[in-house]
Structures are given as structure tokens and as C-alpha cells.
Amino acid sequence: MTADVHQTIEDEFSDYRDGLLDDSARKKVEDHLDGCERCRLAYDEFEQTVSALSDLHKMSAPQNFSSEVTDTIRRRSQGRFFGRKAFGDRIPFEWLAIAALILGLVVYLVIRSSDTGTLKYEGAPKNKPTKKLWDDSWQP
């Protein structure tokens, strides 16, 4: 068996372990491992190493980690970060709409109450005597 064969099998160790080989490739690796002690030992070491990695203790952040993060943000931004809003959020569209409505109403009332205002209500039109365009008494 040439060294190339062993190397080809070793190149497949990761995919073999992760179950990424198709049936024929997997069988080829298994057949080789069954008949080659050197590769079998190499694979056992490989497998133990990768397993040891996943067995490593999962680290937890220190207990006061979250408060330290927010404290750092507050300190660096001198308190401006939290509560600071984006440009779109900073414009209070609802309040602007209400203010515009109130302003419109005020303008309307002012114009209406003004003496010269065109919106002034003058009551129903009274029956005025119509002025004749010509005098009926006139005789040619």
C-alpha cells in the first residue's frame, strides 16, 4: 500500500467523523481502517482529540457582566446613549400632527372673529329694498 493511500484516507477523517461522506466513500474509509492499523490508530487519536474539544467546559460570563456592559456604554457616552433615538424616532410626528391641528383651529377662529376677516359670519342676509335701475315715472 502506498503512502498516498494512507494520506487520502487521512484527508477524509473530518468528513468521515462529521458524517458528510456518501455511502461508497464512507465504506472505502471503513474498509481501509479495518485493514490498516496505522490509519486506525491515527483515526482513534483524531476522534479523541475532536471529542475532547466538544467535552471542554462551557465558559460562563462573570456574574456582573451585563451591568458592566451597560455601565461602560453609559460612561463612554456620558449618559447620551440610552434614550437617544434615531433621527426618525426623534421627530414626534404624533405631537406635531396634534399641534398642527390646534394651530389650524386657532388661525381659523382668529380670522373668523376679525372685523375684516373673510370668514366672519354676518348672519342671514336681510331683505333690503331693491334699487331699481330706472325710474318707472319717466315718460319719454
Partner 1 sequence: MSLRERLLLRKVRQRDEKAFQEIVELYRDRVYNLTFRMMGNAEDAEDVAQEVFISVFKNIYSFRGDAKFSTWLYRVAANHCKNRIKYLARRHDRQKDQFDETIDRDQASGALMGPSSSPRPDARLETLELEQVMRAAIQSLDENQRLLVVLRDIEELSYEEICAITELPQGTVKSRLHRARVELRKKMTKYVKGR
Q: Which parts of this chain interact with partner 1 (CB under 8 A)? A: 10-11, 13-15, 18, 20, 42, 45-46, 48-50, 52-54, 56-62, 65-66, 68-70, 72-73, 76, 81-86, 89
Which residue lies nearer to partner 1 by CB, 66 or 113? 66
Contact 15, 21 (CB under 8 A): yes
- Is the CB of 70 or the CB of 114 nearer to partner 1? 70
The whole-angstrom separation of Cα 110 and Cα 81 is 44
Closer by beta carbon to partner 1, 58 or else 126 = 58
Of 13, 47, 45, 46, residue with least CA distance to 30: 13
